[in-house]
A and B are shown apart, each in its own frame.
Chain A
């Protein structure tokens, strides 16, 4: 039985550290794939949100509001347990996690993009129209280049929010860093009375090291470009 400070051994015992790192890789994979999907698709979604067709806008707002109102955890459960059961399909927890996080990321990124487009002076777009540029050309040459700068700080912020929400996926049996940590704690229940403190503490530090630099970059860019 380890006690007190001695309990820190639990992190490095056996292959524990290795397992935690493998869990971290799963976390990173889910976050990275979701972010990689969310940012480009979210920008397109944001452009759709500024469509001149009212029904397109209504549909987009419905999606955005739905995603914002429904807790992520509920979405994870619905996709992992219900949709797979009703439609008799096999989706891994990791896959469901990526779908749900991407749906969320697309909605949020879309809203950020919409805001950035709306904040452009109306005449920038009018003068581009007056020059005979097509709508596609205006998006490509005028709107997207001008909103990129404004979008970088808030989208970095969104990335950190996505990373720190990943532990939820432990609840749909994805073995990511938190789940690995819980397994280690359970195994050490009668061998190390402070295992949970050290493991959760370790995970805390890992998340901090992951998110803090990103948040710092966002803050600096905001200051420089804001």
Chain B
């Protein structure tokens, strides 16, 4: 059974239709990268999955549970999915370690000692142990984004949603963030990723879902997609990245 199943979701902002029937199944341990021109609805898919945008129709099923039902307790569901944004958004009034431990302690009611231990392990993993007591303003963009990633990981999510997490970073910082994600993928983390970094997409993805006009035009294994895209739109899209 798929861990996440998106069935024919539609979404409009007023008159503007953003998603016109997107369906996608994500298996446990799978990494799917959503590619497509800007405005194709990639980020909206992620935002619908964790309930930041209500969908107009269709359904989303997480581990057998329909989460788009009207009585969904979104804060419980969101604890099972880690989402990271382009603008990292660490909480500026809290230190790095507090940023990481806040939600596990407050929302998941876990023991602060145990959470702190896990947080320190995660910080060590991304090479930021010495920053544990620093404040977000003292970190570079790449460091902040790495903290945002482990802040989501510390909730022990079943899957991660990454929304253009390197779009606001300088190229040399992009690398340090993407390395963390590649590492996660090797560990078998299920991830749904929106990115504009083609090389990264090729390296990390099991499958590529190509979105255009609010629908998935193509869903192929990554290698196949980059070497031999099936649909014309994907071909045109990929051509733009060739010099």
Assess whether A129 is in contact with B85, with CB atoms less than 8 Å apart: no
Interface residues of A in 52-94 (CB under 8 A from B): none
Q: How many A-B residue pairs have CB under 8 A?
A: 65
Interface residues of A in 113-148 (CB under 8 A from B): 121, 123-124, 126-134, 137, 141-142, 145-146
In the complex with contacts A132-B76, A137-B107, A145-B85 CB distance below 8 A? no
Interface residue range, chain B: 20 to 34
Assess whether B148 is in contact with A132, with CB atoms less than 8 Å apart: no
Assess whether A133 is in contact with B89, with CB atoms less than 8 Å apart: no
CA distance A132 to B87 in the complex (A): 18
Assess whether A131 is in contact with B85, with CB atoms less than 8 Å apart: no
Q: Which residues of A contact B52 (CB under 8 A)?
A: 126, 129-130
Q: Which residues of B contact A146 (CB under 8 A)?
A: 91-93
Interface residues of B in 66-107 (CB under 8 A from A): 74-83, 85, 87-89, 91-93, 102-103, 106-107
Instruction: Identify which of A131, A141, A142 contacts B152 (C-beta below 8 A).
Output: A131
Assess whether B103 is in contact with A133, with CB atoms less than 8 Å apart: yes
Instruction: Identify which of B50, B87, B106 contacts A133 (C-beta below 8 A).
Output: B106
CA distance A53 to B52 in the complex (A): 16
Q: Which residues of B contact A141 (CB under 8 A)?
A: 91, 102, 106
Q: Which residues of A contact B106 (CB under 8 A)?
A: 133, 137, 141
A contacts with B: majority SS: helix
Name the residue on B nearest A131 (C-beta).
B103
Name the residue on B nearest A130 (C-beta).
B83
Nearest-Cβ distance from residue B18 to partner chain A, whole angstroms:
17
Assess whether B83 is in contact with A142, with CB atoms less than 8 Å apart: no
Name the residue on B nearest A140 (C-beta).
B106
Assess whether A126 is in contact with B92, with CB atoms less than 8 Å apart: no
Name the residue on B nearest A148 (C-beta).
B93
Q: Which residues of A contact B140 (CB under 8 A)?
A: none
Q: Which residues of B contact A124 (CB under 8 A)?
A: 89, 91-92
Assess whether A145 is in contact with B75, with CB atoms less than 8 Å apart: no
Assess whether A131 is in contact with B89, with CB atoms less than 8 Å apart: no
Name the residue on B nearest A132 (C-beta).
B79
CA distance A133 to B79 in the complex (A): 8
CA distance A134 to B93 in the complex (A): 19
Assess whether A128 is in contact with B85, with CB atoms less than 8 Å apart: no
Q: Which residues of B contact A142 (CB under 8 A)?
A: 91
Assess whether B85 is in contact with A127, with CB atoms less than 8 Å apart: yes
Assess whether A132 is in contact with B85, with CB atoms less than 8 Å apart: no
CA distance A145 to B91 in the complex (A): 10
CA distance A129 to B75 in the complex (A): 7
CA distance A141 to B98 in the complex (A): 11
Q: Which residues of B contact A131 (CB under 8 A)?
A: 78-79, 102-103, 107, 151-152, 155
Assess whether A132 is in contact with B89, with CB atoms less than 8 Å apart: no
Q: Is B108's beta carbon under 8 Å from chain A?
A: yes
CA distance A80 to B103 in the complex (A): 49
CA distance A60 to B88 in the complex (A): 33
Instruction: Identify which of A123, A130, A145 contacts B78 (C-beta below 8 A).
Output: A130
Interface 1/0 per residue, B151-171 and A, CB below 8 Å = 110010000000000000000
Q: Can you list the 10 inter-chain pairs with the closest CB atoms, starting with the nearest?
A: A132-B79, A131-B103, A127-B89, A130-B83, A132-B78, A123-B89, A132-B107, A134-B75, A145-B93, A132-B75
Query: Mind listing 14 A-B residue pairs with CB under 8 Å?
Result: A126-B52, A128-B91, A129-B52, A129-B74, A129-B75, A130-B78, A130-B81, A130-B83, A130-B85, A131-B79, A131-B151, A132-B103, A133-B75, A133-B102
Binding site for A on B (CB under 8 A): 50, 52, 74-83, 85, 87-89, 91-93, 102-103, 106-108, 148, 151-152, 155
